[in-house]
């Protein structure tokens, strides 16, 4: 791996690590709220029941849709024809960053549900999905090397 590739890979890895870390920061905020006894379910019972019946399924579906959108991100960004190594590295960086952000949004949906309803399990479930998604989609050096090699040799893009 040359220096420019290492630099772009490290940038992607740091961005994805920061996104995963922000999920843990949200988890810390949730547990501080619980420890201090701060009531986050600020809606009365009727509003909460109505909102939860609409908001919870919607946010769960949105969070799960992010998992499927990542496949389209790779197809849209990494299936292009590249004329230089800079374009290849830029596409890999964009793809890694977008997939990291999509994983982070799962935890954010759980945090929003926790703030509205005060239900810890909503947050924990979506936080877990976010963490698994972030680890699964974390940029891998071998993928970057194989992708660059296959594009340079003219093989079909392996994404």
The tens digit of pLDDT for each residue in 134-150 reads 999 999 999 999 999 98
Is the pLDDT score of 108 beyond 90? yes
pLDDT for the residue 55: 81
Whole-angstrom distance, CA of residue 19 vs CA of residue 97: 9
User: How much is the pTM?
Assistant: 0.84
Closest to 97 measured CA to CA, from 23, 159, 11, 3: 11
Where do the structural domains in the chain lie, given as residue ranges? 3-148
With the C-alpha atoms ordered 26, 127, 63, 78, is the resulting torsion angle positive or negative? Answer: positive
CA 29 to chain centre: 19
- pLDDT tens for 38-52 read 776 666 655 666 667
Residue pLDDT, tens place only, 69-103: 888 888 888 888 888 889 999 999 999 999 999 98
């Amino acid at each position: 791996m040359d220096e420019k590739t290492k630099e772009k890979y490290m940038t992607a890895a740091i961005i994805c690590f920061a996104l995963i870390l922000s999920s843990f920061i949200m988890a810390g905020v949730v547990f501080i709220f619980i420890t201090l006894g701060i009531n986050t379910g600020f809606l009365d019972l009727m509003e909460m029941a109505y909102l939860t019946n609409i908001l919870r399924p919607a946010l769960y579906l949105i969070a799960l849709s992010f998992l499927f959108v990542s496949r389209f991100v790779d197809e849209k960004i990494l299936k292009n024809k590249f004329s230089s190594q800079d374009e290849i590295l830029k596409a890999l960086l964009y793809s890694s960053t977008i997939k990291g952000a999509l994983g982070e949004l799962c935890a954010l949906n759980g945090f929003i549900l926790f703030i509205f309803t005060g239900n810890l399990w909503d947050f924990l479930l979506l936080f877990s999905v976010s963490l698994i998604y972030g680890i699964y989609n974390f940029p891998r050096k071998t993928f970057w090397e194989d992708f660059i090699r296959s594009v340079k040799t003219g093989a079909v893009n392996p994404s």
